[in-house]
Amino acid sequence: MNKLFAILILILAQSIYGQETTDFTIFHRLLIFNSDGEMLVVKIRNTDFWVTPGFYQTEQQSI
């Protein structure tokens, strides 16, 4: 019985201290195509990465 109680306390304690911050962001990816059906991509400077454009949404900013 004591083991069960200890495990229950551990599970509840972890959920209390899980994620305390309410700051969150959501990334919206924009897929933009031209009249030829080609997708717009952007090259990140000084790298070999190409990505599609997008923007972040926060609690203050909304679409």
* pLDDT higher than 70, residue 8: yes
Query: 59 vs 33, which has greater pLDDT?
Result: 33
In this structure, is residue 50 part of a structural domain?
yes
CB-based contacts of 8: which residues, under 8 Å, 6+ apart? none
pLDDT per residue as tens digits for the range 29-45: 888 888 998 888 888 88
Distance CA 16, CA 19 (A): 8
Query: 36 vs 28, which has greater pLDDT?
Result: 36
Domain count, the chain: 1
In this structure, is residue 4 part of a structural domain?
no
Distance CA 26, CA 37 (A): 27
In this structure, is residue 12 part of a structural domain?
no
